[in-house]
Amino acid sequence: MATVIKAACPLNCWDSCGFHVTIEDGRVAKIEGDPDHPITKGKICGRGRMLEKRANSADRLLYPLKKRNGQFEQISWEQALDEIAAKLTAIKEEYGTTAVLHSHDYANNGILKNLDQRFFNCYGGVTELYGSLCWGSGIEAQKWDFGNALSHEPNDLYNSKNIIIWGRNAARTNMHFYEKLLEVKKLGAKLYVIDPLFNATAKMADEHITIKPGMDGILAAGVIKEMLRLGLEDQAFIEQFTYGFPDLVKLLDGISLEKITDMTEVPAATITKLAYLYADKPTATFMGLGLQRYKNGGNTIRLIDALVAVSGNIGIPGGGANYANIQVGQSFAFADLTLPNRRKSERQFSIMKQAERVLTAKDPEIKMIFVTCGNPLTQVPDSAVVERAFSSVETLVVIEQFMTDTAKLADYVLPTTTAFEEEDFYYSSMYHHYVNYGPQLVTELPGEVKSDLWIWTQLAERLGFGADFHFTRDEWLNMTLKPLKEKGLTLEKLKEKGTLELPVIKIPWQDRKFATPSGKFEFTSQLAQQKGGTGLLTLSVPDESKWSNPELAQKYPYSLLTIHPLRSNHSQHYHLLGGNVKLKVEIASNIAAGLGLQNGDQVRVWNERGEIKGFVSILAAAHPNTINIEEGIWRRFGGPVNNLTSSRESDNGLGSTLYDCLVNLEKL
Ligand SMILES: Nc1nc2c(c(=O)[nH]1)N[C@H]1C(S)=C(S)[C@@H](COP(=O)(O)OP(=O)(O)OC[C@H]3O[C@@H](n4cnc5c(=O)[nH]c(N)nc54)[C@H](O)[C@@H]3O)O[C@H]1N2
Ligand SMILES: Nc1nc2c(c(=O)[nH]1)N[C@H]1C(S)=C(S)[C@@H](COP(=O)(O)OP(=O)(O)OC[C@H]3O[C@@H](n4cnc5c(=O)[nH]c(N)nc54)[C@H](O)[C@@H]3O)O[C@H]1N2
Ligand code: SF4
Ligand SMILES: [Mo]
């Protein structure tokens, strides 16, 4: 008998879709969109549909594994948990709890996935990661400028006259935003895409503005400069609601428009045109995350924010500097869930540099690494160093669904549930503000897989803090929703409706009261000054560019982007695509012409950190000297591209420099 039940997509994505899942004979049979979901309206992508394959795949990990003499052996849960708990106890006594590293990322958007932090806090506090490979620089940048990183609600797009999509690959990564763009375009809004690649969003835009990677902040500076020259700025907003404007003017006086054109490789006429567009309000700006994965990434987002402010597009319907919407995640009771006060000691490594820190840490050295919801061997930059670090520790425990490149290195692999095998609720702080309920739809779990939460509970029991995990799923979920109860948002309602709108601000900063120290929009950031910086905007460039390192640029003339794949969510779908995944090296046509390359030619791409081999695909309208290789590809399919990327941190210390990467290329 088949039944269709409302559920939710757990994948790390802008869209956070509502699902209709068909269950047949106790198994997931089919996944479709929930037509009643207010934002996602019945449409979902292939990655969501393929969660059926993830659940039913014959390659799933089904039993706890232990490595002996280089080979995995199946062991009982009892043995795995007893041995891991014994190691945790011994490490705590001999070296202290921070000799354990918790390496994790965002592979699953369920709120209860955060209970791993509760476990490690109750254990006494381990070495945790800070910063984000994904969006770290931009979040910090917007905290400096506005006090928080907030976006307009999706339907505010109907109020925009002009829409600038700045480095967001919407057609591929944020499909419901893309659908809305198509709709408002038909209604008369004008769309502009600023991106080094002529992606599917650029194809439907009124204009595609191609730019040298990493130079968007300089472009924004140029547009502000033109606005000031032409008298197009919003003087009233600048005077009443901003702080530090003279510093910005001084900065712009130090550079000419010719120099800006030279650096950005964007014609002066286009810069002037953008100045008029920003003045023709309301103009909405939607930034992607690609454009801040550079050394100068924080400053880039800050200069774009500054442009939105100077043009008076902040706090008005149809406007906004839309990057992320972290008020969504801020709606829940995280501290109640994770118990940070239970930590007795702490240490933090940046997520970017976790591998180097593992190799060099002293007092204490890292003795054990726990990987949850992450696949660092493919996803963390500078893979060679990551491999060395994760192979170096005495004990590596990986909680996984599949035998990933990271799991292969483990001493213990613990098999965990996939989508629809446990109850949770799902949200994303990237785009819309609806939270989706995900019931447990499969009760007879394959093999001996267990939920992450079960694993934490069992280990907590053995380590003497089992009482901190004695809660039912309902109790956990209620604990998380506590701050929303007085606003009428309860677990019962969420279960009944499947989707609820969170009570968040829909048009941020409409009251012009900013969450910064001055209460104003800050061109010069006081928060940054409190942290020891100058807080000033700069005209900084990527670390790997001819402007910062001409010798390096001579040796490695091409900019490498490693954007998110179409058919996979990071590394989660490649092994389920069927057939051989062929690593594609997408190159701008000038590179092909210069080196005499044809589609399908095999090439080697390299720099000082490593190399990768793949097959050429020529991109007709990409920015000159630009290459793209999609991220997430497993070693057995020719990856990972992070062999080439650098683990440097961005300017504000909290983001990655994944796209700040020069390479060379040759035909094989
Ligand atoms: N299909 C698919 N969708 C996904 C994901 C996935 O893996 N697959 N992952 C999800 C996650 S975790 C995230 S973080 C989001 C990311 O969503 P996006 O931000 O849309 O995607 P990215 O691939 O990070 O960034 C890609 C865009 O930035 C452009 N770009 C790169 N460098 C620059 C630059 O210097 N200037 C400008 N102007 N543009 C630049 C690229 O050409 C590309 O079009 O996607 C989510 N959605
Ligand atoms: N070169 C390059 N590198 C990148 C990026 C890029 O653009 N370029 N993008 C970066 C970005 S934006 C992000 S967000 C990161 C993503 O990095 P990750 O989150 O590490 O990548 P994923 O492949 O989504 O997931 C990692 C693993 O989590 C497992 N998993 C899924 N669900 C669960 C669960 O419920 N429990 C447990 N225990 N495991 C689970 C999956 O099987 C998968 O193997 O990658 C970053 N790395
Ligand atoms: S991956 Fe994103 S777009 Fe695809 S179904 Fe899940 S939430 Fe929706
Ligand atoms: Mo991400």
Pairing mode, strands 412-415 and 424-426? unpaired
CATH number, residue 71: 3.40.50.740
- Which atom from ligand 2 is nearest to the alpha carbon of 572? 23
The pLDDT, as a whole number, for residue 581 is 85
Ligand 1 neighbour 13 (Cβ under 6 A)? yes
- Of all protein residues, the one whose alpha carbon is nearest to atom 40 of ligand 2 is 373
Q: 51, 62, 570: which to mutate for ligand 2, most atoms within 8 A of CB? A: 570
Distance (Å, whole) CA 558 – CA 389: 29
Q: Which domain holds residue 578?
A: 550-667
pLDDT over threshold 80, residue 74: yes
- Which atom from ligand 1 is nearest to the alpha carbon of 563? 23
Query: Are the beta carbons of 265 and 298 closer than 8 angstroms?
Result: no
The pLDDT, as a whole number, for residue 502 is 97
Radius of gyration of the chain (CA): 25
CATH number, residue 182: 3.40.228.10
Query: Are the beta carbons of 112 and 417 closer than 8 angstroms?
Result: no
Domain assignment of residue 536, yes or no: no
Any idea which of 80-89, 461-470, 571-580 has the lowest mean pLDDT? 571-580
Q: Which ligand lies nearest to the CA atom of residue 379 in the structure?
A: 2
Q: Judge if 77 and 143 occupy the same domain.
A: no
Q: Which ligand lies nearest to the CA atom of residue 413 in the structure?
A: 2
Q: Judge if 302 and 350 occupy the same domain.
A: no
Q: Where are the alpha helices (DSSP H) in 242-353?
A: 245-253, 257-264, 268-279, 297-310, 334-338
Ligand 1 neighbour 15 (Cβ under 6 A)? no
Domain assignment of residue 564, yes or no: yes
* Residue at which a domain ends, from 264, 291, 323: 323
pLDDT in tens, 9-39: 999 999 999 999 999 999 999 999 999 999 9
The rounded Å distance from CA 289 to ligand 4 centre is 8
Domain assignment of residue 539, yes or no: no
Instruction: Please give the backbone phi and psi of residue 107, each rounded to the nearest 5 degrees, phi first.
Output: -60, -20
Q: Which helix (H) or strand (E) holds 485?
A: helix 473-485
pLDDT band (50, 70, 90) for residue 579 = confident
pLDDT in tens, 581-623: 899 999 999 999 999 999 999 999 999 999 999 999 999 899 9
The rounded Å distance from CA 386 to ligand 2 centre is 15
Domain assignment of residue 148, yes or no: yes
pLDDT in tens, 359-385: 999 999 999 999 999 999 999 999 999
Domain assignment of residue 517, yes or no: no
The rounded Å distance from CA 372 to ligand 3 centre is 21
Q: Judge if 357 and 401 occupy the same domain.
A: yes
The rounded Å distance from CA 486 to ligand 4 centre is 32
- Of all protein residues, the one whose alpha carbon is nearest to atom 11 of ligand 1 is 13
Q: Which helix (H) or strand (E) holds 216?
A: helix 216-230
- Which atom from ligand 2 is nearest to the alpha carbon of 379? 47
Q: Which residue's entry shows tokens 């038909």? A: 186
pLDDT over threshold 80, residue 322: yes
pLDDT in tens, 267-316: 999 999 999 999 999 999 999 999 999 999 999 999 999 999 999 999 99
Instruction: Kindly state the tokens that stand for 99.
Output: 């000799």
Whether the ω angle into residue 446 lies within 30 degrees of 0, i.e. cis, is no
Q: Which residue's entry shows tokens 């600048």? A: 238
Q: Judge if 386 and 365 occupy the same domain.
A: yes
Strand ranges across the sheet with 190-194: 207-209, 190-194, 162-166, 283-287, 321-322
Instruction: Please give the backbone phi and psi of residue 503, each rounded to the nearest 5 degrees, phi first.
Output: -80, 70
pLDDT in tens, 238-255: 999 999 999 999 999 999
Q: State how many domains the chain has.
A: 4
- Of all protein residues, the one whose alpha carbon is nearest to atom 7 of ligand 3 is 16
The rounded Å distance from CA 58 to ligand 4 centre is 28
Q: What percent of the chain has pLDDT over 90?
A: 99
On average, the pLDDT of the chain sits at: 97
Q: Judge if 303 and 436 occupy the same domain.
A: no
CATH number, residue 7: 3.30.200.210
- Which atom from ligand 1 is nearest to the alpha carbon of 215? 35
Q: Judge if 382 and 341 occupy the same domain.
A: yes
Q: Which ligand lies nearest to the CA atom of residue 374 in the structure?
A: 2
Q: Judge if 351 and 318 occupy the same domain.
A: no
Instruction: Please give the backbone phi and psi of residue 7, each rounded to the nearest 5 degrees, phi first.
Output: -150, -165
pLDDT in tens, 517-552: 999 999 999 999 999 999 999 999 999 999 999 999
Ligand 1 neighbour 570 (Cβ under 6 A)? yes
Q: Judge if 46 and 71 occupy the same domain.
A: no
pLDDT over threshold 90, residue 221: yes
pTM of structure = 0.98
Pocket of ligand 2 (CB under 6 A): 12, 105-108, 113, 133-134, 372-375, 379, 399-402, 404, 416, 452, 562-564, 569-572, 631-632, 641-642, 645, 658
pLDDT over threshold 80, residue 580: no
Q: Judge if 114 and 225 occupy the same domain.
A: no
- Which atom from ligand 2 is nearest to the alpha carbon of 570? 23
Domain assignment of residue 521, yes or no: no
Q: Which residue's entry shows tokens 């051989």? A: 580
Q: Which ligand lies nearest to the CA atom of residue 408 in the structure?
A: 2
Q: Judge if 339 and 443 occupy the same domain.
A: yes
The rounded Å distance from CA 13 to ligand 4 centre is 7
pLDDT over threshold 80, residue 482: yes
The pLDDT, as a whole number, for residue 499 is 97
Domain assignment of residue 313, yes or no: yes
Q: Judge if 300 and 180 occupy the same domain.
A: yes
Q: Judge if 354 and 208 occupy the same domain.
A: no
Domain assignment of residue 117, yes or no: yes
Pocket of ligand 3 (CB under 6 A): 9, 11, 13, 15-17, 44-45, 47-48, 175, 569
Distance (Å, whole) CA 85 – CA 459: 6
CATH number, residue 588: 2.40.40.20
- Which atom from ligand 2 is nearest to the alpha carbon of 406? 44
The rounded Å distance from CA 430 to ligand 1 centre is 12
